[in-house]
């Protein structure tokens, strides 16, 4: 069962996380919505640091949908090999590029439903691109957001869509995108999967995991 939080408690938790992680923004490097889309596809099961190393070189050579649509998977794979799952990622990046050219006139669409029609783009990727590149409000649920939401007690589910729904019901809409970044940063730098650093966490009193320990 998820814990019940009052609006005031949610506000305090978000304020405390902001104090702990004041620089919570997307850590992927990009210059255009398309570059962000490629970076997010590459970031599945990979660190942002590694993706940034790969895209720094890749985007100097290829950085538009037409560039990638003309590549074969075999040509793209060596550039993205170190991100892991490179076969699927190469296929998805090329297919999404073709979709953008054919269905959206070469521009990355700026709404979640259209983004999700692109090859290899699920709800999480669409939410990240929508919120980071287009300034929309959305809570992308990655592994950190999922773990933190369950540990704190915002929800009780390992289904990303259910977690997103639960979060969107308790977090004010104007804070959805920033909350996504706060939870990611808290998961990366304080509440790691194996060894949560509860001694340096400032939301212990609200955390279900901590209080059960």
Residues that bind ligand SF4 (CB under 6 A): 151-152, 190-191, 196-198, 201, 203-204, 207, 209-210
Shortest Å, Cβ 167 to ligand SF4: 15
- Of 7, 49, 103, 124, the catalytic one is 124
Q: Find, among 58, 38, 26, the residue nearest to 108 by Cα.
A: 38
Q: What is the SS3 assignment for 43?
A: coil
Q: For residue 16, give both structure tokens.
A: 């405390």
Q: Smaller CB distance to ligand SF4: residue 104 or 209? A: 209
Which residue matches tokens 């599945």? 44
Shortest Å, Cβ 211 to ligand SF4: 8
Q: Smaller CB distance to ligand SF4: residue 5 or 104? A: 5
Buried b (16+ CB within 10 A) or exposed e, 142-177: bebbbbbbbbbbbbebeebeebbebbeebbeeebbb
Sign for the pseudo-dihedral over CA of 138, 142, 146, 149: negative
Task: Indicate if 156 belongs to the active site.
Answer: no
Shortest Å, Cβ 180 to ligand SF4: 16
Shortest Å, Cβ 46 to ligand SF4: 23
Shortest Å, Cβ 141 to ligand SF4: 16
Task: Indicate if 142 belongs to the active site.
Answer: yes
Q: What is the DSSP letter of 153?
A: T
Q: What backbone torsions phi and psi does residue 150 show, to the nearest 5 degrees?
A: -75, -40
Q: Smaller CB distance to ligand SF4: residue 17 or 93? A: 17
Q: For residue 141, give both structure tokens.
A: 């649920």
Q: Smaller CB distance to ligand SF4: residue 34 or 154? A: 154
Q: Are 10 and 167 in contact (CB under 8 A)?
A: no
Q: Smaller CB distance to ligand SF4: residue 63 or 202? A: 202
- Of 142, 165, 175, 212, the catalytic one is 142
The residues facing 196 across adjacent strands are 191
Q: How far apart are CA 85 and CA 45, in angstroms?
A: 8
Active-site residue set? 124, 142
């Amino acid at each position: 069962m998820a814990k019940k939080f009052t609006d005031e408690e949610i506000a305090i938790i978000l304020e405390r996380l902001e104090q702990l992680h004041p620089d919570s923004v997307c850590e992927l490097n990009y210059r255009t919505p398309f570059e962000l889309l490629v970076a997010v596809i590459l970031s599945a099961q990979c660190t942002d640091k590694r993706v940034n190393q790969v895209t720094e070189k890749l985007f100097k050579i290829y950085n538009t949908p037409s560039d990638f649509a003309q590549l074969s998977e075999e040509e793209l794979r060596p550039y993205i090999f170190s991100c892991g799952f490179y076969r699927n990622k190469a296929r998805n990046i090329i297919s999404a590029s073709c979709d953008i050219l054919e269905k959206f006139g070469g521009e990355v669409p700026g709404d979640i439903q259209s983004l999700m029609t692109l090859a290899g783009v699920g709800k999480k990727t669409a939410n990240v691109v929508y919120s980071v590149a287009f300034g929309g409000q959305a809570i992308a649920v990655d592994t950190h957001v999922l773990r933190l939401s369950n540990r704190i007690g915002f929800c009780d589910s390992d289904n990303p869509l259910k977690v997103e729904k639960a979060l969107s019901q308790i977090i004010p809409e104007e804070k959805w995108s920033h909350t996504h970044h706060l939870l990611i940063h808290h998961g990366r730098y304080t509440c790691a999967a194996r060894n949560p650093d509860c001694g340096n966490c400032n939301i212990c009193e609200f955390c279900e995991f901590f209080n059960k320990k």
